[in-house]
């Protein structure tokens, strides 16, 4: 890649970033629609392989999505509102238990002093805000009803999302093909390979991890409800939603469920039942759900996921949150590619040859390893070099 080409790519990236920053509010419904289309395109493709026309397949899938969303809105949100109200009613007893039971025990056993700075004020504030809002739906309507134009804008975006989703889902393969045609032919093999790897990583994370989160949330919610904890379904849903970070969902869920069981029942048998439930859930997640639904192709560290979401939200708002995971998946694939090219470069092999204690056999091993990695990708074939000959440059097209 020449210096001029590098500057051109840099200018293109800066222009795209500036447009995203300026047009973030207008692009948000399109990003949501693209996310839905990406998630459901494999289902449409599978129906097509069953000799169902693309239009009919999209119609069936779109109808299923609509029914699911309407069902969640009509059933889950009112129930969630009831659970939050119950949680706020029980919160004073939780805090009283922490002051009267937990704090003296911790002070006696470990010498820890926990100072609760007037927790009743926190409880009263939460209750007041909840009652003023009148629920989740009322809170949203109160915010958007301050301006007629705001209400119209919200309605327009909500209506726009399903419309754009339908057309993107119908023409997804055509759009991908058009984008593929625009790629410069000199770098097309490399870009196509990186795009495939990015799709594998992103698809495994979004489809697989979302399925795991849903399954764990349902399992914990039903299990805690069966134990008899009043706010068990709410605790289970919270634990499931944050289960994309390993062990974090289980830790927070166990802590909240144990406190709720002790306050509500005061019997350690219920605590043991809670611990058994989460032990079964973690075993099922680690040995069944994650291997089956996610696999080992993600490569996205939980810390990287959290940082990407926070950074995207800080830079581009809600649009940045939507684009954070796709961007993180692409960055991880690019870093792997850069590492692969580096280990096959003269710089890496020369430094290995010049290192103290590094012999000829190790240099040859590096060459053979690099050749195997690059040849396995199907992009280029690197020939093994002799120990005394200079290593040829990678013959893959420059990026």
DSSP per residue over 256-295, as a string?
HHHHHHHHHT--HHHHHHHHHHHHHHHHHIIIIIIIIII-
- At a CB cut-off of 8 Å and minimum separation 6, what does 278 contact? 220, 239, 250, 253, 254, 257
Paired tokens of 319 = 């649009």
Q: What is the three-class DSSP state of 310?
A: helix
DSSP letter at 34 equals H
Exposure pattern of 32-59 as b/e (b: 16+ CB <10 Å)? bbbbbbbbbbebbeebeeeeeebeebbb
Query: What pLDDT, on a 0 to 100 scale, did the predictor assign at position 125?
Result: 55
Query: What pLDDT, on a 0 to 100 scale, did the predictor assign at position 222?
Result: 93
Query: What pLDDT, on a 0 to 100 scale, did the predictor assign at position 366?
Result: 41
pLDDT digits (tens, 9 = 90+) for 338-379: 888 888 888 888 766 665 554 444 444 444 444 444 444 444
Write down the domain spans for the chain.
Answer: 25-114+141-182, 187-298
Q: How far apart are CA 209 and CA 302, in angstroms?
A: 12
Query: What pLDDT, on a 0 to 100 scale, did the predictor assign at position 372?
Result: 42
Q: How far apart are CA 103 and CA 97, in angstroms?
A: 9
Paired tokens of 343 = 């280990």
Paired tokens of 105 = 């025990």
Q: How far apart are CA 24 and CA 21, in angstroms?
A: 5
Integer CA distances (angstroms), 382 to 339, 344, 350, 368, 370, in order: 16, 9, 17, 9, 8
User: Locate tokens 């209506």: which residue?
Assistant: 159
Q: How far apart are CA 327 and CA 35, in angstroms?
A: 13
| Long-range contacts, 118-121 (Cβ 8 Å, 24+) | 119/95, 120/92, 120/95
Q: How far apart are CA 153 and CA 151, in angstroms?
A: 5
Query: What pLDDT, on a 0 to 100 scale, did the predictor assign at position 202?
Result: 81
Q: How far is CA 318 from the centre of its chain?
A: 14
User: Locate tokens 């210096």: which residue?
Assistant: 3
Q: How far apart are CA 37 and CA 55, in angstroms?
A: 14
Query: What pLDDT, on a 0 to 100 scale, did the predictor assign at position 300?
Result: 66
Q: What is the three-class DSSP state of 245?
A: coil
Q: How far apart are CA 374 and CA 340, in angstroms?
A: 8
Alpha helices in the chain (DSSP H): 3-22, 24-49, 54-71, 77-97, 103-110, 119-133, 136-144, 148-170, 172-182, 188-203, 210-227, 232-241, 248-264, 268-284, 302-316, 318-343, 346-354, 360-376
Ranges under pLDDT 70 in the chain: 1, 109-151, 153, 295-300, 351-399
CA-based nearest residue to 224, from 188, 271, 189: 271
CA-based nearest residue to 380, from 397, 399, 396: 396
Q: How far apart are CA 161 and CA 148, in angstroms?
A: 20
């Amino acid at each position: 890649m020449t210096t001029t080409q590098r500057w051109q790519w840099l200018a293109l990236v800066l222009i795209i970033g500036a447009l995203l920053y300026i047009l973030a509010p207008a692009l948000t419904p399109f990003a949501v629609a693209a996310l839905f289309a990406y998630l459901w395109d494999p289902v449409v493709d599978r129906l097509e392989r069953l000799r169902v026309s693309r239009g009919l397949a999209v119609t069936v899938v779109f109808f299923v999505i609509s029914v699911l969303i309407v069902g969640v809105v009509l059933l889950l949100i009112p129930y969630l509102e009831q659970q939050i109200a119950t949680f706020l009613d029980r919160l004073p007893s939780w805090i009283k238990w922490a002051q009267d039971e937990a704090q003296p025990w911790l002070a006696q056993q470990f010498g820890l002093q926990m100072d609760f700075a007037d927790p009743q004020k926190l409880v009263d504030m939460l209750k007041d805000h909840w009652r003023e809002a009148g629920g989740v739906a009322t809170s949203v309507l109160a915010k958007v009803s301050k301006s007629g134009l705001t209400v119209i804008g919200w309605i327009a975006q909500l209506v726009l999302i399903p419309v754009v989703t339908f057309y993107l889902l119908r023409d997804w393969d055509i759009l991908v093909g058009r984008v593929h045609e625009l790629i410069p032919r000199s770098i097309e093999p490399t870009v196509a390979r990186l795009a495939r790897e990015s799709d594998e990583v992103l698809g495994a994370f979004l489809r697989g991890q979302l399925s795991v989160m849903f399954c764990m949330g349902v399992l914990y919610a039903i299990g805690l409800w069966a134990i008899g904890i009043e706010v068990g379904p709410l605790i289970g849903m919270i634990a499931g939603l944050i289960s994309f970070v390993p062990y974090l969902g289980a830790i927070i869920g166990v802590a909240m469920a144990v406190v709720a069981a002790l306050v509500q029942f005061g019997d350690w048998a219920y605590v043991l039942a809670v611990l058994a439930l989460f032990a079964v859930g973690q075993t099922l997640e680690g040995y069944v759900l994650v291997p089956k639904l996610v696999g080992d192709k993600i490569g996205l560290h939980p810390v990287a996921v959290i940082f990407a979401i926070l950074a995207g939200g800080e830079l581009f708002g809600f649009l940045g949150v939507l684009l954070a995971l796709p961007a993180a998946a692409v960055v991880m694939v690019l870093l792997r590619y850069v590492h692969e090219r580096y280990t096959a470069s003269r710089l890496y092999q020369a430094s290995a040859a010049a290192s103290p204690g590094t012999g000829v056999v190790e240099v040859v091993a590096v060459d053979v390893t690099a050749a195997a990695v690059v040849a396995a990708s199907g992009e280029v074939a690197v020939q093994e070099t002799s120990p005394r000959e200079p290593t040829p440059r990678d013959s893959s097209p420059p990026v």
